Amino acid sequence: MKEKLETKAVGFYFIVLAALLGVISLVRYAVWAPAHDAMDVLTMAALVIGIVIGIILMVKDNDYLVIVMTVCYSIATVKLLTDSVGSFVDAIQGINMFGDSSQVGTIISIAAVMGVSILLSIISGFLKRVKE
């Protein structure tokens, strides 16, 4: 095991961290969304596919899978934010009509963790993942 880890470069650890943050995002979203009638299959599927691709990348290095992982996390984040526009509008206007303005903080915190996953996967695409 130690010999395998010695062959890994910084990009590999960025992928591991992106997958870990993807799992955290998935758990937080899966706990929060059903309680607020905000569950979306596309968001869940994109997060799960991104995590699975991250696990595959831990075993086999492939540049195209890094791109697909980034796209999956991006889809999940954009879908979460676009589904929550009503809550943001309510928070800005100080009303409670289109969404739940009390959930804006939670939405932003979930999206921020997803955003860090996106950033880590983008950076890992430019770094070496296996030492030569």
Is the CA virtual torsion 89, 93, 98, 102 positive or negative?
positive
86: three-class secondary structure by DSSP: helix
Q: What's 61's DSSP letter? A: -
In 3-state terms, the chain is what percent helix, strand and coil (to 5)?
Answer: 80, 0, 20
What pLDDT, on the 0 to 100 scale, is given for residue 5? 67
Q: How far apart, in whole angstroms, are the C-alpha atoms of residue 87 and residue 25? A: 19
Residue 50, H or E segment: helix 41-59
* DSSP three-state, residue 70: helix
The pair of structure tokens assigned to 105 is 């903080």
In the predicted structure, residue 2 carries a pLDDT above the cut 80: no
Mean pLDDT across the chain: 91
What pLDDT shows up at residue 37? 84
Q: What is the pLDDT of residues 19-66, one digit of tens each?
A: 999 999 999 999 999 988 889 999 999 999 999 999 999 999 889 999
